[in-house]
Each structure stands twice: as C-alpha cells, then as structure tokens.
Structure 1
Amino acid sequence: MNHVHAMPFGATLLDAGVRFSYWAPDASQIALELGGQPPLPLQRADDGWHRLEVAEARAGDRYRFCLPDGSCVPDPASRRNPDDVHGASEVIDPRAYEWHDDEWRGRPWTEAVIYELHIGTFTPEGTFAAARKRLIDLAALGISVVEVMPVADFPGKQGWGYDGVLLFAPDASYGTPDDLKAFVNAAHDLGLMVLLDVVYNHFGPEGNYLHSGSPFFFNAAHQTPWGSAINYDGEQARTVRDFFVHNALFWIEEYRFDGLRMDAIHAIRDDSRPDIVEEICTALREGPGRDRHIHIVLENDANGARYLERDAKGQPRIATAQWNDDLHHAAHVLVTGDTDGYYADYADDPMGHFGRALAEGFVFQGQPSAFRKGEARGEPSAHLPSSAFVSFVQTHDQVGNRAFGDRIEGLADPALLRAAYACLLLSPHVPMLFMGEEYAAATPFLYFCDFGHELAAAVSAGRRAEFGQFAAFADEAARARIPDPNAASTFEASKLNWQERLHGPHRDFLAFISELLAIRRRFVVPHLANQRGGGQHWREGDVLRVDWSLGSARLRQLINFGKKPLTGIQPILGQPIYTNGLAMAGHNETLRLAPGAVCVTLQENNHG
C-alpha cells in the first residue's frame, strides 16, 4: 500500500508532470529553476500563490525557486534536499515506497514506554537503515514507543535537529525518505509505535530562506530568542498555520508516524484561539486519529495543564501528555545533590518535590519560581491521570546541556539512583529512557552542530561563555576544555558503544531495567486505563510514600531516600510486586530499610 499526504505546498506529482507551488504574497514574480535550465516564471494568483505545472518534470528532478532579488533557493516544503539546506530540492514520489503494515493501528497510550534516540549517534553508522537493525533490541527490552529526535533537514552533517529549516525533508545525512519509511515500517512490524520530535517554535539560523522569499512567515510583533516569531496570528497567518498543520499531518499520513513530540511550545507566540497547538492536535485527532492511535506529546516549560485535560471517558481533549521536567529536576537534586541553575527551585525539599511530581504530575502548579525571579509558574495538575505525564531521569537536554555531556550514573548516589528508577518505571507515569540509559552507557551525549564558519565560531564562543557563570568554569582554561560543538570529534564521541551492554556493570544495569519493565508490563499496565486522577504522597523523615488509585486497584510505593538504614517503618498494604533493600524488623512486623530501599505493592479490588 502507498501513503501520500496531499498539500498545497511544494512539488506535487500529477498523472503527467509536476505542479510546483510557492507562497509569496508580496512578490510580483517567482520563477522555477528545473534541472539547471533557464528559470520558468510561475503564474501568480491573487491569494499570493505562485504555481506552474511542468508536464516533462519527473520524480528525481532537482529544482529551486528564484526570487525577485535574483537568488535561487530550495523549496520550503521540499520532501528531500540531497545536497543539504543550501542545495536544490528533489522531486519525490511518495507512492514509490510500498508499505506492508496495513493492519497497524498503533497502541493505547497506557502501554507506552518511550525510548528517545538521536539517529546520528544511536549507531556507529548514524543512519535510518542502521537504526532499523537495532529496533529488535528495544522491543526485547520492553520498549513500546520510539521517540526520534528531529530529522527535518538541518545545516551540515551533524546536529541535534532543533535547528531544522526544511521541515518536510528528512536530513540527507541519515538516508533517503524511503529509508525513514522503512525504519517506521520495521518498528510497526515489531509492535513499536514511533513518535517524531518536531519544532514549530522557530526555524534554524542557517538555511532559512523564508525571510527573503516569504517574509509573511514571521511576525515582528512577537519577538523570541530567535528573532521575529513565526506568524501564527498576524496578517496572512492562515497560510502559515496551514503550513504547520500540513507538516504535522504529513509525518503522520505519509510516513506513518504514530504521533509527534512538539518541542518547546512555551516559545510559540500565538494569541489566537484556538492556538496553533490546539489546531494541530485537533487536525491529527479528527484526521488520522479516527482510524488509529495518534499521540501528541508536548514540551511546555510553562506547565500548561489546560492542554492535558481529559473528557468524560478519560480521553485527551487536546494533547496526550507532556514531558515532565519537574519530576526530572526533583529526582536529579535528590540523587546527585546538584543545585545549580534551575535545580535551585527544588533544593529546599527534593524528596517532597519528587513525591509531589510522582503523585500530581507538576511540582510547580502556580507558585512562584525563585529561579525565574518570583514569576508564577504552572497550573493545577493533581486532577489529571499520571499518563498525562512523560517522566524521566535523563533526556537529550539534561545530558547534552552539561558541559561534558555527563550521564547521571557518574553523578549520583548509586543506591538512590536505582530507587529513583524503580519509582519511575513502576509508577503510572509514562516512563521514558534516553538512548543508552538502559545499560548506563559510559559514552557522553554532547552538544554538537555543523554551522557555517562565522556562525560556528559564534556558537562555540557562546557555549563556553554560557558556562562561565558556573564556579567550575570561572577560569578561562577550564572553559577552553569544553568540547567544540562544531568539531567532528564531539559528534563521534557522542555515539553509543553497543558493546558496553554485554559486559560488567552495564550488563547488570540492563538486567535491572529489564526486570522493572517486565514487572510494569505484568502488574501496572493492566490497571492504567482506569486511573482518572492523580495520587497522594507523604514524607516521613527520609521515607517517601506514594499512593495511586487505579480504579479497582491501588498502587503504592515506599522508599528510603536517606543515607542511613531506618528501622520501625510501617509497611504498606498490598501484594509486593517489587522489593529491594528491606527486611522485617522484630516481632512487631515493622520494616528495616537500607538506604535506597524500595517496596512497591499492588492491592486489587480495594480490599483493605
């Protein structure tokens, strides 16, 4: 079977030839350069569209659009740019790939265990094809969702992907469009859903020609860290909004992704109602979501619970879930003692904050943030089910934003870290692991990019200056040791070493994570569809207790997050499904808890 998303943008194959479309309302003339031939003028319509049908054009042809200033640029809706973001676009036939997952309808969100990966560093080869061969390892681990960091074409041969400029074109350094489709198809064959990370808050700083070709794509009335905001609510905004709605539908319909992770929606400037996030979610749910499970995960530093509301049947009204940075930050402070930067907001009571995050989702639900100089942050979230939160101990951000890309295993108390993993993976939250985390990878994940010379120098200097505010990097010589993001060695150092998982402590940690995921799958997942609200938590000295109602069952956790053994601790009710580091203490049947001890129980049918 073939899958094609029809849209007004870009190059569209016809029964005979190709229709080329470019939107530039303020341009009197746009021309088409096809295969290096002299430019052909496009026909301008009153609505700002410039179009031309070329009967002899075929899939595989290279083309560019020529602007009134004489420059020729790639198609903003290019489906492929083989020679990177400054080169010509290629006409692609979406019907060329034959899908063999016709029966695939996705999976319920309650079954989600997410694995975030970066295509370029997930394997030594750094390609879609190489990543496809590793999917079987993720399925065997107990992963059910693969979340792919952005693949939209970005400048250069290495990058995290958040500086993409051609949002419909998979980056050519990873492979062809058909290679990406084969990756998604193989995941479905293994029962894995695939989410794609997309960036709708800005375009990257290099290779974005929309400023000169279609300046109405931006609205100077809203300013962002990247300059004028994308125009979601100003003059001519309807076509701009359509561009992004089509992009979301394109990845779901033409590439068969099972959902999207929308990057940093707090950085989107849009005063419309419904805003662009709501419009995209509605388009996905009322479109492909009618026939299969489609999930939308948000990153939103503002902790906007309104995007996560459920209907009377417990189904999401807008987004499915949000990345829960609060839980990560509290856990990080709890197991490492680190209180620099935004971690300072969690330093006063890291255990209490971690407990609140487990029970209620957000820690900040409207109270002031000291890190943000007293600004109120967040909305109430205790009424939401835990599945509205994607929670984690590590992500690409929290590893890669450290100067040396340090993973948490080298920073944390080992016993407390294992306790945090048990709490996360055996909670009703949707857990997420960052690639290599399952075996405590020793390889770092550094910040890397591949910009042009002047921008590259500015990024390298800026990154080192950014760390100058930390005591450890106050000295210029210390800052000079921070890896250069543009160096090939920085990228290479970030690639996973898959052999690690076969040996020593890495193998042991992999077995630990595998055990937790197996317990989750057997005991926790069957009850998650019945949860309608959050849980409760109590702190008793160094002991944390958390309790969730899952319909006819209750899930409970008891953890010693202290550095010393504790005795005389009252046990929790229910059948133990996981215990570590605890023993009965005396005739009164109280517990002795070692540092990092965990007990998780499940009590069914509400007995007791």
Structure 2
Amino acid sequence: MRHTRATSFGSVTGEDGTSFSLWAPTASRVALVVEDREHDLPDEGGGWRRITRPEVRAGARYGYRIDGDLVVPDPASRFQPDDVSGLSEVIDPSAYAWTTAGWSGRPFEEAVIYEAHVGTATLEGTYAGLEKRLPELRDLGVTAIELLPIADFKGRRNWGYDGVLPYAPDGAYGRPDDLRRLIDSAHSLGLMVFLDVVYNHFGPAGNYLHAYAKTFFTERHQTPWGAGINFDGKPSGDVVRDFFVGNALYWLEDYRFDGLRFDAVHAILDDSETHFLAELGEAVRERLPDRHVHLILENEANQARWLERDGGGKALQHDAQWADDLHHCWHVLLTGEDAGYYASFSDKPVEHLARCLAEGFAYQGEPFPTLDNHPRGEPSGHLPPTAFVTFLQNHDQVGNRALGERLSHLADPRKLDLARAGLLLAPQIPMLWMGEEWSASTPFLFFVDFAPDEELNKAVREGRRREFKSFAAFADDTSAIPDPTEEKTFSESKLDWSERERSPHREVLAETTRLLRLRRESVVPLLKSGYRGAQASPPRPDMVDCTWRFDGGTLRFVANLGAGDAAFDAQGGEVLWTNAPEGGRGALPSWTGIFLTGAAR
C-alpha cells in the first residue's frame, strides 16, 4: 500500500525556498505564475510538474498558466485570499506556535459531538467567533466540535458541500492560523475538533481540474454530481487516491484535527481490489498510532464492513457511521411524517427503533421500500454501540426542509424531552446540531453564493423551488420558500445565543446539561468497561425495552411511546433518569421513559 504526505501536492516552504508540485497529465505546457513572473514547469513524467524557487516565501501569491492561456489556482492550495478563482497564497504551517503540542485526543467512548456550521454558529460567523463559545460548550458537556466542510467554496456563504479546493480552509471564516487557534483553544479546554470532508464530488463553480487533469474524473462511474472521481483507473487513480489520503493526513497533521467525518461515502465509486475507504482508514491508523484519531462515515448503504473491530475492540479502519436509521425512527414517532425515506420506517417505527438501539441498523439486508425494495444494509448486531453516531437532528435533516424547521418547531415538547434523554443516555455516540441544546428558535436554511454567476444562482433558486413543488404545502405557490441565493436567507440562519438565558430555552439547556452530566458519570464508565451485547424485547408494539450489557454493569432503556399507560417492572435496576411520575413505579404513562443501571450479568 502506498502512503503519502500532503506535501506531495501544492506548495511547501523550506530553507531552500518554496517548492511547487502540480499534477497536470492532460496539459501540454504549464508555467508557474508568481510575483509577476512566469517559470516553465518541465514534465517530469506521469503528469507531474515541479519546481523550487528560492526567492519565494510565505505570503506570496501564485497560480499556474495552462497551455499559455488560463491561469488557475493550485488544486492543493493552502489558502485562497481572493476566493476560488484567485491566486493561491503560500502558507507556512510551522509559523503557528501551538500551545497544546502534547494533546493526543480523547477516547471515542467520551465523545459527545456538537455539529456546527462556522458561518452561522455565531453572529460573527468566523473561527474566532466560534472560539469564544468553546467554554460554554465545554460546560454543556460537549467533548467534540464537528465543523461542516470548510474547503474553499465559491462566494461568501455556503453549507460547505460545494467545496472545490480541499486543502484550503475558506477565507470567509478567517485565515489558516485563525483555524489553528480555534483548534488550539479547543484542545486547551479538553475538547476534540472533527472536520467534515467531501471526497465524493467537487462543487459546481471554481473547479479547474478539467483544464489540465481530465483523468482526475471518469465516465465509468456516474454520481448525482456527474462523472465520478477516478479512484480506480490506472495509473491516474493512484494519484487521485494519494490526493485525498494526503488531504486527510493534512487536516489531521497540519491542523491537528482529532477526527474526520467523510461525507456520503456511498457515492465514492471504486472497483479496485482495495477500496479507497479501506486504504484511507488503514493509512491514517498507520500514520498516527499514538493519537486518538476518530474516523466517521456517512453511508446510506449501511455497510458494517467498514466498522469492524480487532480482538480488543479497537476500530480497524473507521470508528463509526452516522446512524440515519435511528434518526428516521425517532422523527416518524415525534412528527408523524411519512414522506420520502420516512415511509420505510413509518410502518413499524417502534420495532425499528428497538432494533437500532440494540444493533445499530434497522435494515440489515432486508428490502428497503424507498429503494424499490432493493436490499439495504449489512448485519451490524456484532458491533459495539460506539460504532454509531446518533442524533435527533443534523444539518441535512433540518436544512433540507423547505423552511429549515428544527425538530423543536415540529414536535410536542413533552415527546421531545423523552427523545432527548433517549439520545443522550443511550450508549451510542450522541451528536447535537448547533442550538439544539436550547431548542434554538432560528431555522437553518439552505444558502449559497455563486455571484456574479447569475445563471448558476438562478438554476439553484429554481431547482430548490422545483424540489418542493411535489409537496402539498407548496404545490400551488413556492414563494414562501426562502431564496437560497439571498444573503437574508443566510443571516436568518445565524444562532442567537442570548436565547439561552430566556424561557423556555433556559430550561431545555439546563436539562440537556443535566443529561450530559449523567452520561459522563454513569454511561461513559460502562462504555469503557467493555461491551458484551444488547437485547431489545418490546413488551408490546408501542413500547421499547432495550438492555445493553457491559463488563461493568447494565444499562436499560424502557419507553412507552403509545397513548395509554403501560405496566413496568424495574427488575431491581437503579433509576438513572425518568420523566415518569412516581419515578416510574409500576407504570409508565404515555410518552414517558426510564433509564436504569444494574450489576453486570
């Protein structure tokens, strides 16, 4: 297996000046444009062009002239001061003086993840603005911040999934050292920082790879975004794989992120003998054996194969997957919605929920109605709960709604109280969507900024409205759907942290804080003691009764999700949490539940 460093690509500063490396296999001539001068880059073979310029230092602006015409940014640019089409800036990563150089991370069992979009998490919308909020997140009980993608995208506002320069943190949020300072401050508070990265496609504006590296893509594989990235074509596929493995190592080493979340890996199409995901996971494990580095997948295919453990319970490749199935179960139960993929969970949501709690996936190879009954998923019951990141909300599930409503806008607060405890006290790795901890009133809307390309802006605007035309609420009039290209849509999505001090938000925040304290004191020690297995045995169709067994004891969750009272036997367990009157003795009224701990058995 090949192992690469991020320094195989882009510009690298050193004592001898700055070296530049560009892979341009389909260009006839390439010149480095730097400091108003041009320097021809000879072809070294295999499509590589390299040069070292002793006079070039950090801060210099540069680009590449392709075939005597177009000047493009470095595809491995470390920073773009003037957006995706401007010149790249030479960055010296060693210039930042880390104050937490000894930080090695935290075990995954301790993870409580807080997903955040840098541009809307605070009014400032910057790395520095988010840094100011870190003490409050620590006090809440969060142990890891997960940033939505920050790879440079077109314009000043975007969710991040339209990135085109994977090595360049977007300038809308600050400079590279501002990002390092955010991570450094988080580590000083005992917080991990994860980054969402996108290796399945590039955004629609600002990607110039087709001008000089057409074989970076392949028509053999088609994705929702067009031709697939060429992970398996020889010899180009080797360079493409190195580009992305190098990118992962770059974020983990140069910025000291504690983990990565890989977006939509089911859309990474690769027929190689060793799939890219396997190579990626193994490369990170081999390179960083002395750090707690956590790799998380988003994978609609529910492939348990990427989450396997060794004999000691340690992840061989990837730590966990986003547990979409569990979210869908809770959402159906809380809202009654059954459109789209929710239809595959609305037939027996309680049964599906029980299986998710005990085994991870609701569908483990069974026909999936939303996919024309095509089988979905792989057996997952042998995996520990920490192989699954669970959530009631995330950026997709909120932002992909026409009006960006949060779950607190849709669900009965009493029902949401039970689901919140079910999320935060269950042994899976819980994730909160920013503002969820106080039931923020602000929506999270879909927004982009492709100006001055008004044709692309128009296409996005019309596509958004066309997407919801089939919904009854918008069938006759889509004017209520916010325009994703307007700055107002972006600004309305910014969190108002002052809400935390007002009712009813203050009470929700206090309860979330209490639940996370209970998790830290009683659930995390069980997770660290060793997992033995789980069993869910619904006593009736509208109840969940799940018990997880650990070397250090048991954890049991019983919930009545029906309309009437339900008989309940604590079986000698000690109450950790309940929202039932009388402490749940004898019966659980409608939409109440209880968590119990017990001795190992």
Tell me the CA shift for residue 57 of structure 1: 1.0
AA at the equivalent of 1:63 = Y
Question: What corresponds to 1:51 in structure 2?
Answer: 50
Q: Hey, what does 2:221 align to over in structure 1?
A: 222
| CA shift for structure 1 position 552 | 3.5
Aligned equivalent of 2:372: 373
Q: Deviation of residue 480 (structure 1)?
A: 1.7
Q: 1:242 is matched by which residue type in structure 2?
A: D
* Higher mean displacement: 295-304 or 97-106: 97-106
Are 2:55 and 1:95 equivalent residues in the alignment?
Answer: no
Deviation for aligned residue 1:568: 3.6
Displacement, 1:533?
A: 5.3
Counterparts of 1:429 and 1:533, CA distance in 2: 14
Q: Give the Cα–Cα distance (whole angstroms) in 2 for the partners of residues 23 and 488 of structure 1.
A: 37
CA–CA separation in structure 1 for the residues paired with 2:46 and 2:263: 31
1:338-369 CA-partner distances (Å, limit 9, x unpaired): 11111000111111111111111000100111
Letter in 2 for 1:88: L
| Shift of residue 417, structure 1, vs aligned partner | 1.5
> What residue number does 1:517 align with?
516
Partners of 2:533 and 2:550 within 8 A in 1: no
CA distance in 1, matches of 2:420, 2:156: 35
- The residue that corresponds to 1:232 in the other structure is 231
Residue identity in the other structure for 2:31: A
CA distance in 1, matches of 2:161, 2:533: 33
Most deviating of 384-393 and 4-13: 4-13
SS at match of 2:292: coil
In 2, distance between residues paired with 1:471 and 1:6? Answer: 49
- Correspondence list, 1:547-566, <5 A: 547-564=547-564, 566=565
Counterpart code for 2:294: H
5 Å-filtered alignment, 1:354-503, equals 354-451=353-450, 452-475=453-476, 477=477, 479-503=478-502
C-alpha separation in 1, matches of 2:395 and 2:519: 24
**Using the alignment, how far apart are the partners of 2:61 and 2:126 within structure 1?**
23
Match in the other structure for 1:532: 531
Q: Which moved more, 1:139-148 or 1:408-417?
A: 408-417
Amino acid at match of 1:463: R
Q: 2:14, 2:6 → 1: CA distance?
A: 11
1:22 paired residue number: 22
**2 CA distance for matches of 1:86 and 1:567?**
62
Q: Is the 8 A contact 2:560 2:593 kept in 1?
A: yes
> What is aligned with 1:507?
506
The change in CA–CA distance for 1:167 and 1:567 in structure 2 (over 3 A counts) is: closer
1:426-449 residue CA offsets vs partner (Å, 9 max, x unmatched): 111000000000000000000111
Q: Deviations over 1:138-184 (max 9, x none)?
A: 10000011101000000000000011001110000100000000000
Return 5+ residue gaps in structure 1 as ranges: none
- Cα displacement string for residues 181-215 of structure 1 (whole angstroms, at most 9, x for unaligned residues): 00000000000011100000001110000011211
After TM superposition, the structure 1 = structure 2 runs for residues 126-137 of structure 1, keeping only pairs within 5 Å, are 126-137=125-136
Cα distance in 2 for residues equivalent to 1:285 and 1:577: 36
Establish whether residue 601 from structure 1 lines up as the match of residue 596 from structure 2.
yes
Q: Which residue of 2 aligns with 1:123?
A: 122
Amino acid at match of 1:278: A
The alpha carbon displacement at 1:58 in A equals: 1.3
Structure 1 runs of 4+ aligned residues shifted over 4 Å read none
Does the residue aligned with 2:591 lie in a helix, a strand or coil?
strand
Q: What SS does the aligned partner of 2:261 have? A: strand
Structure 1 residue 584: Cα displacement: 7.2
Equivalent position of 1:171 in the other structure: 170
Aligned residues: 594
Q: CA deviation at 1:534?
A: 4.3
Instruction: Determine the structure 1 residue equivalent to 2:249.
Output: 249
Partner SS for 2:431: strand
Instruction: Tell me the equivalent position of 1:271.
Output: 271
* Structure 2 residue aligned with 1:60: 59
| Alignment partners' CA distance in 2, 1:50 and 1:65 | 11
Give how far 1:567 is off.
Answer: 4.9
Aligned in 2, Cα 1:569/1:605: closer, same or farther, shift over 3 Å? closer
Given that 1:5 and 1:253 are in contact with CA atoms closer than 8 Å, whether structure 2 keeps it comes out as no
CA contact (8 A) 2:537 2:545 kept: yes
The letter of the residue matching 2:285 is: R
1:197-208 pair list within 5 angstroms: 197-208=196-207
The SS at the match of 2:177 is helix
Distance of 1:338 and 1:533 partners within structure 2: 35
- How many Å separate the matches in 1 of 2:570 and 2:59? 67
The structural deviation recorded for 1:6 is: 5.3
What SS class does the counterpart of residue 526 from structure 2 fall into? helix
The alpha-carbon distance between structure 1 residues 511 and 56, as it changes in their structure 2 partners (threshold 3 A), is same
- Taking the aligned partners of 2:348 and 2:582, their CA distance within structure 1 comes to 27
Q: Which residue of 2 aligns with 1:36?
A: 36
Aligned AA for 1:326? Answer: D
Name the SS of the counterpart of 2:257 in structure 1. Answer: coil
> In the alignment, which residue of structure 2 is the partner of 1:112?
111
Offset, 1:101: 0.8
Superposed displacement of residue 69, structure 1: 5.7
More displaced stretch, 23-32 vs 217-226: 23-32
Q: Would the alpha carbon gap of residues 541 and 396 (structure 1) be closer, same or farther in structure 2, given more than 3 Å must change?
A: same
How many angstroms apart in 2 are the aligned matches of 1:57 and 1:454? Answer: 38
Q: For the residues of structure 1 that align with 2:35 and 2:189, how far apart are their CA atoms?
A: 41
> Aligned partners of 1:14 and 1:597: how far apart in 2?
62
Contact 1:333 1:347 in 2 (8 A): yes
SS in 1 for 2:157: coil
The CA deviation at 1:51 is: 1.2
* Preserved contact between residue 581 and residue 595 of structure 1 (Cα < 8 Å): no
TM-score between both structures, scaled by the size of structure 1: 0.96
In the other structure, the counterpart of 2:310 is 311
- Partner Cα distance (2:136, 2:583) in 1: 38
How far has the Cα of 1:47 moved from its partner? 2.1
Q: What is the Cα deviation at residue 337 of structure 1?
A: 0.5
Give the percent of matched residue pairs that are identical in Structure 1 and Structure 2: 51
* Residues 27 and 211 in structure 2, CA contact (< 8 A), matched pair in contact too: no
Secondary structure in 2 aligned to 1:571? coil
Structure 2 Cα separation of the partners of residues 492 and 556 of structure 1? 43
Rounded to whole Å, the distance in 2 between the matches of 1:5 and 1:341 is 42
Aligned pair in 2 of structure 1 residues 356, 567: CA closer, same or farther (>3 Å)? Answer: closer
Pick which of 497-506 and 219-228 moved more. 219-228
**Offset, 1:326:** 0.2
Q: 1:533/1:221 Cα in 2 relative to 1: closer, same or farther (>3 Å)?
A: farther
**Partner SS, residue 125 of structure 1:** coil
Per the alignment, in what secondary structure is the counterpart of residue 257 of structure 1? Answer: coil
Distance 1:521 1:454, change over 3 A: same
Indicate if the aligned counterparts of 1:196 and 1:260 stay in contact, CA closer than 8 A. Answer: yes
Q: RMSD of the alignment, in Å?
A: 1.4
Kindly state the Cα deviation for residue 594 of structure 1 after the two structures are TM-superposed. 2.3
Inter-partner Cα distance in structure 2 for 1:97 and 1:175? 15
Q: In 2, are the aligned partners of 1:260 and 1:295 still within 8 Å (CA)?
A: yes
C-alpha contact 1:116 1:435 (8 A) present in aligned 2: yes
Read off the aligned partner of 1:596 and give its amino acid letter: W
- Hey, what's the Cα distance between the residues in 2 that align with 1:357 and 1:351? 10
The answer to whether the 8 A contact 1:27-1:68 is kept is yes
Write out per-residue CA displacement over residues 71-109 of structure 1, whole angstroms, 9 at most, x where no aligned residue.
000000000000000100001111110111122110000
